[in-house]
Structure 1
Amino acid sequence: MTDLLSLAYPWVKALHIMAVMSWMAGLFYLPRLYVYHAERGQNGQEPVRSFEIMEYKLLRMIMNPAMIVTWLAGLALVFTPGIVDWSSIWPWTKAACVIAMSGFHGWLSVQRKALLAGKGVSGRSYRLANEVPTLLMVVIVLSVVVKF
């Protein structure tokens, strides 16, 4: 099995990068949709149903599959011999941030349901939340590339 992982490494790494890019695009865009939904959709300026459809499709058809592929490919990379030195700090910081990113993804799912029920947080709160994936991404990339 480890030989197979070693042979597939460049392909799995490429798949992982593509999945991460897709997931991150959704993590950046969904809170922005929530801002519009919270600020414009609730007072009748724009059709709420349009926001609901966009949010649903982004979360269920793009972000969820991308997160799952990110995790599966990432775990395959972790189990590839010689790739991760667990005595270093960087894999632990990356792992913590990926778990936090997944938690943020879950929070976004909960917020979609809250918005549907008319109980979402303010547009300002969603604007602030929009910075979370950026901060986590910075730590993840620095962890993996610089290996601090």
Structure 2
Amino acid sequence: MSYLWLKAFHIMAIVTWFAALFYLPRLYVYHTLALQEEDSKASERFKIMERKLYRGIMMPSMLAVVLLGLGLLSLNFSGYMQQGWMHAKLLLVALLLIYHFWCGHLLKRFAEDRNQQTHVWYRVFNELPVFLLIFIVLLAVIKPW
């Protein structure tokens, strides 16, 4: 597969992954509010929505991002590894992967009715991938080092 095809599919997977990364913690905000109101029907609905989003969209798109990214890296691995911006970008992607799996951990807590965070905490948590996205895009486009 050519570089441009890999890059195009990589970007599409990134968009899909980030949509899920932005939406799942927002569902956690609303789920927490439903729990505060002791609305068990809403809580069960949120559990289904969260599970389907994580397993059906977030995981497959994350895997596509990683595999396509590795494919792109493999086209000129030694060249990319000599560029400082790529090291910084890969570090931020690693943090994003940690965030992704942290969302999965929180999903399990909600599924087991063991959520310990407030809706305010989830509102702050929801903003973390925004900063990672900004820095990753800036590094990939500007390539400062």
The more displaced of 40-49 and 11-20 is 40-49
The answer to whether 1:37 aligns with 2:14 is no
Kept in 2: contact 1:42–1:48 (CA 8 A): no
- Map Cα deviations across residues 100-148 of structure 1 (whole Å, 9 max, x no partner): 1010000000001111222221111111111110010011001100112
Whole-angstrom CA distance in 2 between matches of 1:106 and 1:136: 15
User: What's the secondary structure of 1:108's corresponding residue?
Assistant: helix
The answer to whether 1:97 aligns with 2:96 is no
Kept in 2: contact 1:16–1:70 (CA 8 A): yes
**Residue ranges of structure 2 left out of the alignment (5+ in a row):** none
The answer to whether 1:142 aligns with 2:144 is no
1:128 is matched with which residue? 124
Distance 1:12 1:58, change over 3 A: same
Whole-angstrom CA distance in 2 between matches of 1:38 and 1:73: 35
Kept in 2: contact 1:77–1:83 (CA 8 A): no
Kept in 2: contact 1:35–1:123 (CA 8 A): yes
1:59 is matched with which residue? 54
Q: 1:117 aligned to 108, 112, 115, which one?
A: 112
Whole-angstrom CA distance in 2 between matches of 1:52 and 1:84: 45
**Residue ranges of structure 1 left out of the alignment (5+ in a row):** 1-6
1:20 is matched with which residue? 14
Whole-angstrom CA distance in 1 between matches of 2:122 and 2:35: 14
